[in-house]
Amino acid sequence: QRAANFVMSKVSEAARLRTEFGVQLRLLRAAGAWTPGCGGVVQAVYGCYCAFIVVSLVVFVVTQVSAILHFWGDIISITNSVCVTFVYILATFKLVVLLKMRGLTDELLDNLDRCMERYGRTFGREKAFVFGECARRGRWISLMQAWMGLCLYVAWVMQPMLRVQSCSTAECRSQSGFPTVVWYPFSFTEPPAYQVVFIVVSTGLFYGNIISITVHSTFCTLMIYVAGHLRVLNHMARNLCSTQQYDEATGDHKQRNRCDAGEERVREHLRECVRYHIDIERMVQQLSKLVGPILLGELLADMITVSASAFITTALKSNSGLLLKYGWYVFVVAEQMFLVCWCGDEVLAESERLQVSVYSCDWTGGSPRLLRELRIVLSRTGRPLLLTASKFY
């Protein structure tokens, strides 16, 4: 009975060690950025849904360009429209890139799962803890980002809905009755045209917002899992000369000296660490290829939009509603960039710890052959693994 329980615990433990991507996939599908694997009618319907999202974003951007041309000379209106236009052009770009790189994303997820199953089997408890923590952090970041995006969208939509109640003229509705500055070459401030235009603008605003939020949380989750693999590799490197064995008498895992069983076991474990590092390096390259173009475009767009939003917030000190709206927007943009840099820096920090982890193993009693192999591993792990925005930063 005890042996059966142990086998079942191992099976359930292995079943848990997968890249948990459920929350992120649901958000990506809602944003139109993740086509379902099944074909037929479902894929055709989802394709129409993606086309609807792209059309909504394009119509929204065209509306902003039209407002820029119409209100030329009004610095506040132009700055507002330019800021929103850059953000939503980038959202359209993110959607197209993710759809085009679906194969690369699937390959990266497969590699993450494969490495979870293949490496570090003698450290099952530590590995389960590390990847369980990765899953928890990924869910927390995704839900937090979704909540902040929802708050930002509600703030931008509810404010004009409340302000328009006090408007009695078409000019007032044109200036205060929409989430952003808009202009059409027809009378759009009288019912029912006003309600239709409001829905069109709000729809484009919603999808651009959810795409930006979802892409960031997805990238952060992938970075967290890559850093988790590096953390497991660090643990394996620190324990080159030791392993864990299951004690059936006590039901616990106990530390055993691997060197007692012969140096060949240590060298095999060292080769496993090298293969693991090669696979992690390949995953970092795949992740850089996926996130690089998007993060570079985001950096350039944020440099413009944050500066423009800061200008608007400074110029609208007397308007507390608009001040709150743009202040919240600047906070969300800064928070997104901080999360990406934080998760990317975690990958760098874990890769830089590898040399110390290898050096910390009990290598002093090793043979000259083992020491030569350790020096090769130390020289290889001296190259830090970097995630860059197309090698720009």
Q: In which band, very low, low, confident or very high, does the pLDDT at 155 lie, cut at 50, 70 and 90?
A: confident
Domain span at 141:
23-381
Q: Is 44 a member of any domain? A: yes
* Confidence (pLDDT) at 4: 39
Task: Please give the structure tokens belonging to residue 141.
Answer: 């970041």
Nearest 5°: the CA angle 67, 177, 146 is 90
Question: Is pLDDT above 70 for 357?
Answer: yes
Going by C-alpha positions, the residue among 308, 391, 361 that lies closest to residue 79 is: 308
* Confidence (pLDDT) at 83: 77
Q: By percentage, how much of the chain surpasses pLDDT 70?
A: 83
Q: By percentage, how much of the chain surpasses pLDDT 90?
A: 16
Looking at the DSSP bridge assignments, the partners of residue 256 are 243
Rounded-to-integer distance, Cα 80 and Cα 305, Å: 9
Q: Is 15 a member of any domain? A: no
Q: What is the pLDDT of residues 70-102, one digit of tens each?
A: 878 777 777 777 777 887 888 888 888 888 888
Q: Is 388 a member of any domain? A: no
Q: Is 393 a member of any domain? A: no
Whether the upstream peptide bond of residue 192 has omega within 30° of 0, thus cis, is: yes
Point out the least confidently predicted range of 112-126, 317-331, 336-350. Answer: 317-331
Question: In Å, what is the CA distance from 293 to each residue of 18, 95, 289, 298, 301?
Answer: 27, 12, 8, 9, 12
Q: In which band, very low, low, confident or very high, does the pLDDT at 15 lie, cut at 50, 70 and 90?
A: very low
Question: Is pLDDT above 70 for 200?
Answer: yes
* Confidence (pLDDT) at 133: 93
Q: Is 1 a member of any domain? A: no
Number of domains in the chain: 1
Rounded-to-integer distance, Cα 241 and Cα 122, Å: 12
Q: Is 17 a member of any domain? A: no
Question: Is pLDDT above 90 for 223?
Answer: yes
* Confidence (pLDDT) at 175: 74
Task: Please give the structure tokens belonging to residue 82.
Answer: 């330019």
Q: Is 360 helix (H, G, I), strand (E, B) or coil?
A: coil
Question: Is pLDDT above 70 for 246?
Answer: no
DSSP for 272-322, please give it. Answer: HHHHHHHHHHHHHHHHHHHHHHHHHHHHHHHHHHHHHHHHHHHHTTT-HHH
Question: Average pLDDT, whole number, for the chain?
Answer: 80
Q: Is 11 a member of any domain? A: no
C-beta of residue 371 within 8 angstroms of C-beta of residue 361: no
Q: In which band, very low, low, confident or very high, does the pLDDT at 123 lie, cut at 50, 70 and 90?
A: confident
Q: Is 49 a member of any domain? A: yes
